[in-house]
Amino acid sequence: MLEIRFHGRGGQGAVTSAELLAIAAISKDIYAQAFPSFGPERRGAPVVAFCRLDDKKINIRAKVYNPDIVIVLDPGLLSLINPTEGMKEGGTLVLNSKKTPVEIRDEYGFNSRIVAVDANKIAHEELGRPIVNTTMLGAFLKSTDLLTVKDIERPIMERFGTKLGPKNIRALERAYKEAVIKE
């Protein structure tokens, strides 16, 4: 089972990211579940979302405490949380950051595999706003061979329609190409 934890802020699309990933997985005959963890937070408050993917039925109904992959949509959260807390050995940290994976490792001491992409820049250029959910999915897709960019296009189009769908796909494709991985 692949367990993924998303850290973001309300309005950035962490919950939508988890849902889109689950929908894409289900279309490839992969069992999936996605769900948020938040209370009555407002836009901008920290939000956590979870996604599980497996080749068999998923019976767990709890938060993801020991993720294989952690995706951080807001780099400002790094001063508030340790995103690698509970991460499985050999896990992957996917970060929205202007910094390189080496700079991130040097600054924060993360010893996991790091994938970095400047999702804010891509989202501004492709979407005209700092909503980085689909952009970060592009970096996630680059970090694993479980799903392809093509696999997630249909869920994006269904979710965002003909006006915003193509823009989100372009943002995802750019992030996939521009993400940098450091083992």
Say which CATH superfamily domain 2-182 falls into.
Answer: Pyruvate-ferredoxin oxidoreductase, PFOR, domain III (3.40.920.10)
Residue (of 61, 65, 77, 57) closest to 7 by Cα position: 77
Burial, 92: exposed, middle or buried (Cβ in 10 Å; 0-12, 13-18, 19+)? buried
pTM exceeds cut of 0.85: yes
CA 109 – CA 74 distance, rounded (Å): 18
Q: Judging by DSSP bridges, how do beta strands 113-117 and 180-182 pair with one another?
A: antiparallel
Amino acid at 32: A
pLDDT, position 32: 97
Q: Which two tokens stand for residue 183?
A: 């083992």
Which residues sit opposite 43 in a β-bridge? none
CA 5 – CA 166 distance, rounded (Å): 26
pLDDT tens for each residue of 39-66 = 655 667 788 999 999 999 999 989 999 9
Show pLDDT as tens, one digit a residue, over the chain (183 residues).
999 999 998 888 899 999 999 999 999 999 999 998 866 556 677 889 999 999 999 999 899 999 999 999 999 999 888 999 999 999 999 999 999 999 999 999 998 999 999 999 999 999 999 899 999 999 999 999 999 999 999 999 999 999 999 999 999 999 999 999 987
Residue in this structure with the two tokens 């709890």, named with its chain if needed: 62
Q: Judging by DSSP bridges, how do beta strands 69-72 and 46-54 pair with one another?
A: unpaired
Amino acid at 26: I
DSSP run (H or E) holding 123:
helix 119-127
pLDDT, position 42: 65
Q: Which two tokens stand for residue 116?
A: 């970095």
DSSP letter (8 states) at residue 87: P
CA 168 – CA 108 distance, rounded (Å): 30
pLDDT, position 41: 57
Three-class DSSP category at 162? helix
* Domain boundary assignment for the chain: 2-182
CA 164 – CA 66 distance, rounded (Å): 34
